[in-house]
Amino acid sequence: MPVNKAIVLASRPPAGGRASLDNFALVESEIGAPGPGQVLVRHEFLSLDPYMRARMDDARSYAASQEIGQPMIGGTVGEVIASNNPRFAVGDKVVGMGGWRTYSLDDGGLLRKLDAPAVPIQAWLGALGMPGVTAWYGVNRIIAPKAGETLVVSAATGAVGSVVGQLAKAAGARAVGIAGGAAKCAYALGELGFDACVDHRAATFEADLKAAVPNGIDGLFENVGGKCFSACLRRLNDFSRIALCGTIASYQGDEPTSLPDLRLVLVRRIKLQGFIVTDHLDLWPQALKELAGLYLAGKLRWRETIAEGLETAPKAFLDMLEGGNFGKQLVRLA
C-alpha cells in the first residue's frame, strides 16, 4: 500500500497572534487497505480556505477546534483506488473532506461522486463547491438583491467573492467589488463583469468607495471585516442587508472588526446576518445544480492559484491569509 503524507497541526498559534510555518509538521505513515464499507481515495487537489485559521485556535466556535497532531481539515477531490463500498467503484472521481494528506480512508458517508466530466475536477472545491454555495446562499437567501440595487462584496476576486459578484449581476443588481491591488480590480472589471472595483490598499480607499456607490449600498457581502467593513457601514441605505461570511482581516490579529455604532443598524433598519454554509446542507443540491448550470452556459468564471505538492500547503495557506492568492487557492497533490 502507498505511503501517506500528511500535514498536521503541530502547535497552536499564540492567542490573538499570527499562525506561522512552525505550527505545521509533515508526517508520513502507512495506509492500510480499506475495511468493510470503506474506500481508499488518492487526492488530486486540496482546498485551502480562510475558515481553517479559526480552527487552529482553541476557542469556542461553530465547529470543534483542529486537533493537535492530526491532519489539518480540508476539502479534497480525488480518485477511488480501492473500494469495499457498493456506492463507489475504482476509478470514481469524488469530492469530500479528506484533509491535508495525499490519501484517505473513508466510509463514504461524506463523499460525493462526481459525474460531470465537462467540469474541471478542482472546480468542485471552488466555484462549484463550498465557496460557490456560500456565495449562492448569502446572495439569494440573505441579501436577495433586486434589479437596480447596489451590492458590495469584499475580497471580490476570491473564491467566494468572485461568485457573489456574478450572481449579483445575474439578478440585475449593480456589483461593486473591494479587492487588494490594481490587478485584482482590473480582473473584477474585465473578466468577472463587476460594475466597479475599489482597491482597499489605496490611500484614497474611502473616497474611492464613496464614488463607486453614489446611491449607497443595498447589500453587503462581507468577507474581510476591518476597515473595509467600517467604510461600507457608513454607506448603507435604509433596509439594506448584510451577509456576514467572514472577517479575514482579523484572523491573524491585524485588524479588529467591530460594529462601532449599533444605533446605525436600528435607524437604517439594517438586516445583519452571520451564516455558516454547512448549516444549510438541504440547499446544497439546488445551489450546486444552479452553479453548474451557469458554468456550462458560459456564465460563471473563476481564477485559481495552485501550489504544487503537499509540502507547499502551509506557506500557501499563510500567503492566502495575507491576500497573496488570486482567486481560489488550491494545492495540487497528484
Q: Is the pLDDT of residue 151 over 80?
A: yes
Percentage of residues of the chain with pLDDT beyond 90: 90
pLDDT of residue 255: 80
Question: Which residues make Cβ contacts (< 8 Å) with residue 296, sequence separation at least 6?
Answer: 118, 119
Q: Is the pLDDT of residue 57 over 90?
A: yes
Mean pLDDT across the stretch 35-48?
A: 97
205: domain CATH number is 3.40.50.720
Spatial CA neighbour of 229 closest among 217, 237, 238, 220: 220
Does 164 share its domain with 254? yes
pLDDT of residue 35: 95
Domain-located, residue 103: yes
Residue 114 phi, psi dihedral angles, 5° rounding: -100, 125
Q: How far is CA 274 from CA 143, 257, 263, in A?
A: 12, 14, 18
- Mean pLDDT (the chain) is 95
Confidence class for position 223, pLDDT limits 50, 70, 90: very high
pLDDT of residue 59: 85
pLDDT of residue 254: 78
Cα-based angle 326, 329, 330 (whole degrees, multiple of 5):
140
Strand runs labelled E in 248-315: 271-274, 304-308
Q: How far is CA 222 from CA 225, 226, 230, in A?
A: 7, 10, 11
Contacts 24+ apart (CB under 8 A), 201-205: 205/231
Instruction: Please tell me what DSSP assigns to residue 154.
Output: E
pLDDT of residue 48: 98
245, 223 contact by CB (below 8 A): yes
Mean pLDDT across the stretch 80-105?
A: 97
26: domain CATH number is 3.90.180.10
Task: Find how far residue 23's CA is from the centre of its chain.
Answer: 22
Cell of 223: 468577507
Domain-located, residue 98: yes
Question: b/e map of 90-119 (b: 16 or more CB within 10 Å)?
Answer: eebbbbbebbbbbbbbbebeebbebeeeee
176, 188 contact by CB (below 8 A): no
Does 119 share its domain with 145? no
> What's the longest Cα–Cα distance across the chain?
64
Does 173 share its domain with 252? yes
Does 90 share its domain with 216? no
pLDDT of residue 247: 92
Mean pLDDT across the stretch 252-270?
A: 87
Tell me the sheet residues that pair with 248.
Answer: none
**pLDDT tens string 13-37:** 998 899 999 999 999 999 989 999 9
Does 14 share its domain with 76? yes
pTM of the predicted protein model:
0.94
In total, how many domains does the chain have?
2
What is the residue range of 325's domain? 3-126+302-332
